[in-house]
Chain A
Amino acid sequence: MNPLKIKQLFTQYKILALLFAIALIWAFFSWKTEGGFISPRNLSNLMRQMAITGILACGMVFVIIAGEIDLSVGSLLGLLGGVAAVLDVSHHLPLPLIIVLVLACGLVLGIFNGYLVAYAGIPSFIVGLGGMLAYRGIVLGVTDGTTVAPVSDQMIFLGQGYLTPAMGVGLGVVLFVLAGLLTWRQRASLALHSLPVAPLWRDGVKLAAIAVVLFAFVRTLNSYEGIPLPVLLLLVLLGGFSYMATQTVFGRRIYAVGSNMEATRLSGVNVRAVKLWIFGLMGLMCALAGLINTARLAAGSPSAGTAGELDVIAACFIGGTSMRGGSGTVYGALIGALVMASLDNGMSMLDVDSYWQMIVKGFILTLAVWGDVVTRSGRRG
C-alpha cells in the first residue's frame, strides 16, 4: 500500500491509528519490562489508574465538543473527594448518602461553572482558571491541609472492589451479545434506507475481534482479582454517554452548538441551557472521579487531582476531539485516557525519572494533535 492510501485509511478510521499507537506503546513497555507490563496484575492496576482520567474525560469530551474548556476539573475532583472523605471519616454517614450528597455537590458546582460561562458570558478558560484556584483553596481549608483518613471499608470497596470471576464472564457475554445486536440493527437500518452495507465478512471480522478483545479482557482481569469496580463504572459511562451523544436530542445539540453556535441559536435552540447542562455533567463526573479517587487511595488527600485537568484534556485531544469544537467521541477520549495511563504506568515501571515522563507525555500530545491537523488539512475549504 502506498503512503497516501495509508493516510486515507487512518483519516477514515482514526480509531485504527489510536489502537495501533496503543499496541506500539504496550509492545515497547512489555519488551523493556520483560513481560511485566502485560502481567494481569499490572494491567488491572493500569485500568484502575486510567479510570479516574477516563471518568473525567467522559465529561470533558462534551465540554470540548461544545467549543469550551474546563480547567477546574482537577481541583473540583480534589474538593469533592475531600468532601466525601470528611463526610465518611468525621461524620460517619452511610455510603449511599455520601454518594448522593457528593454527586449533588458536583452537579451544583458544575452548573455554577456553566452559569458563569453560558449566562454571565465569562470565557470558559477564565472560569476554569478561577475555579482551579478557588476549589483547591476550599479543599485546603476544609481538610486543613492534612490527609483525611482512615476511610470506612465500604468506601474503600468502591475503589478497590472487584466483580467475582463469574460476574466478569457474565459481563463479557452480555457485552458481546450487545455488540452483535447493535451490528445487526445497524445493518438492518442501512439496508432499509438503501445505503451501502459493509460486506458480511467485514462485520464478521469486526465481531470476532470484539470477541477476542472481550475474552482477553475478562480472562486477564479474572486471572488476577476480577474486573475492578471503577472499570465497570467506566464501561457503564462509555455506554451511557455514547448513547447520549448519538441517540438523544441533547447529544445532537451539543455537536450543533460546538460546530456553529449562531446557526444553532437561530434554529430555535436554547444554546445557553445546552452549555449549562454540559458543565453540570462535567461537575457530576468530577464527583464520581473524586469518590473513586478517595476510595482508591483510602484517604482524602488535599492535593488529589492536582494537574489532573491536563491529563484529561490531553486524553480528549489524543482521542481525536476537534480543537474547534463540533466533533469528537466518548470512546476516542477513553482511548486517549488509556494512552496517557499506559505511558504513566510503563515509565513508572521502568523507573524513568518523572521529568522524563512529563517530557514524553508532552511530546505524545503534540504529536497526536499534529497527526490530526495533517490528516484534516485536506478537507479545509
Chain B
Amino acid sequence: MSGYLLEMKGIVKEFDGVRALNGIDIKIKPGECVGLCGENGAGKSTLMKVLSAVYPHGSWDGEILWQDQPLRAQSIRETEAAGIIIIHQELMLVPELSVTENIFLGNEITLPGGRMNYPAMNRRAEQMLAELKLTDVNVVLPVMNYGGGHQQLIEIAKALNKDAKLLILDEPSASLTSAEIAVLLEIIRGLKAKGVACVYISHKLDEVAAICDTIAVIRDGQHIATTPMAELDVNRIIAQMVGREMNQLYPKQDHELGEVIFEARNVTCYDVDKPERKRVDNVSFKVRKGEILGIAGLVGAGRTELVSALFGAYPGRCEAEVWLHGEKIDTGTPLKAIRAGFALVPEDRKQHGIVRDLNVGQNITLSVLDSFSKFTRIDGEAELAAVHQQIGRLGLKTASPFLPITSLSGGNQQKAVLSKMLLTKPQVLILDEPTRGVDVGAKYEIYKLMFELAKQGMAIIMVSSELAEVLGISDRVLVMGEGKLRGDFVNHELTQEILMTAALDQSH
C-alpha cells in the first residue's frame, strides 16, 4: 500500500490538437484536502473532468490509481460507485423537481414495486439540510423556489448523500454568502476528520488557505508545484499561479493615442433568469483613438456581459449609454451597432462566431454581403476578391476559401471571424477572449494585427482572462469583479499580482 487514496500520473488531454493538460501529477491521501489553483483556463476543470470520467478513460493519456488499483472508468456512474463525487461549477439540479427528489436523483429510496418512499427520503433530506444549517427550506417544494446560494447547498447535500471517499468541489462558494461559506468549510472539516479526501477549487484564495492542507498549482495545463499550505501564503499562491515570464510573445509596436472617441456610461445588465440580480453594475469607461484597452477579471465578473451590452447582443435586460465622437448613439441590436462603427468578435467561437454549414469564404463575407450584390444577386468574383484579400491580410491558413469552416484549426477559425468583423470597417473593435483555444503562432499574428489596427487609429477593447496577455497588449487595463469596476490602471510598471489582487478583492 502506498498510503495514497488517489494518484494521477502524467495526465495529458488534448482538444482538437490543443493540449489542455500536459502531464499533470496529483497525489491525495485519505482525509487530505488539496487546493487546486490556477488562472481561468489553466486546466483545473478539465483535470477534474478527467478524474470523474466526464472524459472517459481512453480519451486522455496517463494513469489514475485509485486505492492502488488502476481506474479505467467509462462514465461518471463508475467513478461515483468508486466514491469519487464531483460538485460541478454549474449547478446540476433539475429546477422543476422538489428538493428531496433532486437530492435523491438516481439514488432513490424505493418501496416494493418501484414506488418512491417519500416519507423516508424527505426525513433524510431534512436531516442533511439541517447539518448544513439550512433550516428555511421546505424539501417538498421545487428547487427553483430557492436562490443560488441555497441551490448550491442543496447540490452539496446531494453529493454528501452519496458515499463519498473523495469529494471534488469546483467553485462551490461562488454564490454563497460568507456565513454560508463558514458552514461549508465546517462541513468539509468534519468530512476530513472522517477520512474523506477533498479537492477544493476556488478563486477565493482565503478560503483555499483556510481549508486546504496542500496546494497544487497548474498553469497552461502544466503542473507547476505541489506545496504544503504551511509553507505558503496567499501572495505566494498568486505568484505561482501567474508567474510566467514576459518574452517575445507580444510584438509591441508604438502607436499614438488620440482623443477620446468612445465612451460607455452607466452600463447595467440584469441576469437573464433572475432579473433582480445585476451581472454588470453601473460601469462607465472611455477609450481613446488608437488605444488598446484590456479588461481583466475572473470568470463571472461580468466582462462578457459588459461588452455584449455595448454591442446590443446581451440577451437579458440591460441599460447602456454609448457615445461615439461625442454623440450619443443607439446600439440596441448588433445590426445598429455595426452600422454605427462597432464590431464584436465574440467569446464563444462555436456558438457565436462561425456558421458551420457555410464555407470559409462565405463566413468571412457574411457581415457585408450586401456590398457585393447587385439587385440582390451576389457578385461571386467581387466576393472572392474580398475573401482573398482578407486571407492574405490576416495570414489565414486555408487551402481554399471553399473548404468547410470546420476543417480549419481554432486559430484560423478565429481569424475568419475576425476578418468578417473587420470587413465592416469598424472604428471600435471589441475582442472577447480573442486568443482562447488558439495556438501560439496564430496568437502572435492576432496580436500583430491588433497593434497595426491601433496604429491606424482604431480603438480596441479586449476582454481577456490571461493576465500576461492583458499586460503584453494593453495601453490601459480595467479590472472587473462581481459586475463592478474594481480598478483602472495605465499599463506602466503594472504587474499580474496587482491585477490579480484587484480582481480577487474581498473588501466588500
Contact = CB atoms under 8 A, between A and B. Distances in A.
B432 to A, nearest CB: 11
B352 A252 contact: no
A268 B356 contact: no
Given A248-B376, A248-B377, A263-B352, A268 B358 contact: no
A324 to B, nearest CB: 9
B404 to A, nearest CB: 9
Most buried by B among A189, A249, A255: A249
Contact of A252 (B334, B369, B384): B369
A253 B370 CA distance: 11
B366 A264 contact: yes
B417 to A, nearest CB: 8
Contact of B380 (A189, A262, A266, A270): A189
B341 to A, nearest CB: 12
Given A252-B378, A258-B357, A327-B357, A266 B362 contact: no
Interface in A209-257: 247-250, 252-253, 255-256
A255 B335 CA distance: 18
B339 A260 contact: no
A46 B357 CA distance: 35
A378 interface: no
A266 B342 CA distance: 11
B354 interface: yes
A249 B362 contact: no
A333 B384 CA distance: 29
A248 B383 CA distance: 12
Interface string B379-411: 010001000000000000000101000100000
B355 interface: yes
Interface residues of B, number: 35
B296 interface: no
B378 A259 contact: no
Interface residues of A, number: 27
B289 interface: no
A348 B369 CA distance: 49
A266 B355 contact: no
Contacts of A327: 357
Contacts of A5: none
A195 B402 CA distance: 9
Contacts of B358: 252, 255-256, 259
B334 A265 contact: yes
B373 A267 contact: no
Interface in A267-290: 267-270
B372 to A, nearest CB: 8
Contacts of B402: 195
B373 A249 contact: yes
A250 B376 contact: yes
A268 B338 CA distance: 6
A337 to B, nearest CB: 23
A259 B420 CA distance: 17
Contacts of B251: none
A268 B367 contact: yes
B444 to A, nearest CB: 26
A326 interface: yes
Contacts of B337: 268
B346 interface: yes
B463 interface: no
A248 B313 CA distance: 27
A262 B344 CA distance: 13
A193 interface: yes
Contacts of B362: 252, 256
A26 to B, nearest CB: 32
B45 interface: no
A381 interface: yes
Interface in A294-340: 322, 326-327
A247 B352 contact: no
Contact of B352 (A189, A249, A262): A262
A150 B400 CA distance: 60
Given A249-B373, A259-B356, A259-B358, A266 B384 contact: no
B142 interface: no
Contacts of A264: 355, 366
B351 A326 contact: no
A247 B380 CA distance: 8
Interface string B138-179: 000000000000000000000000000000000000000000
A266 B376 contact: no
B369 A326 contact: no
A266 B356 contact: no
A189 B383 CA distance: 13
Given A249-B378, A252-B362, A326-B357, A268 B351 contact: no
A246 to B, nearest CB: 9
A258 to B, nearest CB: 7
Given A249-B378, A252-B358, 13 more contacts: A249-B377, A259-B355, A260-B352, A260-B354, A260-B355, A260-B357, A262-B351, A263-B354, A264-B366, A266-B353, A268-B334, A322-B357, A327-B357
Interface of A: 189, 193, 195, 247-250, 252-253, 255-256, 258-260, 262-270, 322, 326-327, 381
